[in-house]
Amino acid sequence: MKLVRAKAQLRDELAGAHGRGETIGLVPTMGALHEGHLALLAAARERCDVVVMSLFVNPAQFRPEEDLDAYPRDPERDAELARGAGVDVLFAPAVDEIYPEGFATAVEVGGPLTSVLDADPERRGRGHFSGVTTVVAKLFNMVEPDLAFFGQKDAQQALVVERMARDLDFAIEIVVVPTVRAPDGLALSSRNAYLSAADRPRAAALSRALVAAERAAQGGSGLAEALAAARGELEAAAIEPEYLEARDAETLAATDNFNGRPVLLALAARIGPARLIDNLVITPPDRVAGPGD
């Protein structure tokens, strides 16, 4: 595995692979690797000749009140895990390599994908996603991958990146990898490190809530009932969600019933200092819509 810090070196490193027409896969990460990241790397290893992992804690996607400096970092451990996962090139640039002095451009996806859920101005806001798409567009230009791998854990992010890739004609296949969970259901996240020992078991209520909604839907309940089942699980764990919403899984348009299309059930909640997100896509069995749907 080659550890690369500079863009020019990254290009040199990949020139041979590009010339030979090899398939290049990119896995963007902010480090503090866990099994979720490793699942992305395994998917990339399986489909690509050359796997590039980027490790960059991107200041542009943090809000001013979010503590960028407190974000968990362990670059040596990350490098070891990346090596073990078969990464060929680890690109770990400094902040000024990505945003040199005078940097003044942003890539922003507009429309509903970046005005709802996490992009709601009251929450992380559109600026968060513009921080993501700007850095991802830059990484796409630097690496010129054939495929790029993102986690379903950040469902809205994956949709926004897919939209950007289509709109800006990046000839890159976006692969979305299923969410990896702890045995109690908690979606793995670098931010789980912020959970206290007392809060860690409570956090499992997030996925329990989503599963309760899914079960209700599969049992024939309407969306309102399914959401109530989810809310019940959260209440039982004394968790007041920042949001718990059902939306069309592809467009993020509001939906108040199961209409045969996959529904994204997404939630965010603060548990102690950790702000956690999770989601599940529900495709209820075909059923006749009834009153209250």
Closest by Cα among 209, 255, 264 to 234: 209
Q: Residue 40: how many CA atoms within 13 Å on its side-chain side?
A: 29
Q: Tell the smallest beta-carbon distance from residue 200 to ligand AMP (Å).
A: 15
Respond yes or no: is residue 37 known to be catalytic: yes
Say if strands 173-177 and 241-248 run parallel, antiparallel, or are unpaired. unpaired
- Cβ-based neighbour number of residue 213 at 10 Å: 28
| 24 or 39: CB nearest ligand AMP | 39
Q: Where on the chain is the footprint of ligand AMP (CB under 6 A)?
A: 29-30, 36-37, 39-40, 150-151, 153-154, 177, 179-180, 187-190
| 133 or 179: CB nearest ligand AMP | 179
E strand residue ranges, the chain: 2-4, 24-29, 50-55, 89-91, 147-151, 173-177, 241-248, 263-271, 274-282
| 107 or 227: CB nearest ligand AMP | 107
Closest by Cα among 190, 180, 164 to 73: 190
Given 18, 34, 37, 128, the catalytic residue: 37
Place of tokens 């039982």: 236
Q: Tell the smallest beta-carbon distance from residue 70 to ligand AMP (Å).
A: 14
| 133 or 190: CB nearest ligand AMP | 190
| 270 or 287: CB nearest ligand AMP | 270
> For the chain, what is the radius of gyration of the CA atoms?
20
Q: Residue 284: how many CA atoms within 13 Å on its side-chain side?
A: 26
Q: Tell the smallest beta-carbon distance from residue 292 to ligand AMP (Å).
A: 34
For residues 183 and 171, is the Cβ–Cβ distance under 8 A? no
Q: Tell the smallest beta-carbon distance from residue 162 to ligand AMP (Å).
A: 12
Q: Tell the smallest beta-carbon distance from residue 179 to ligand AMP (Å).
A: 4
For residues 186 and 203, is the Cβ–Cβ distance under 8 A? yes
Q: What is the DSSP string of 22-85?
A: --EEEEEE-SS--HHHHHHHHHHHHH-SEEEEEE---GGGS-TTS-GGGS---HHHHHHHHHHT
Q: Tell the smallest beta-carbon distance from residue 177 to ligand AMP (Å).
A: 5
Written as six digits, the tokens of 107 are: 């890539």
| 129 or 258: CB nearest ligand AMP | 129
* Active site (catalytic) residues: 37
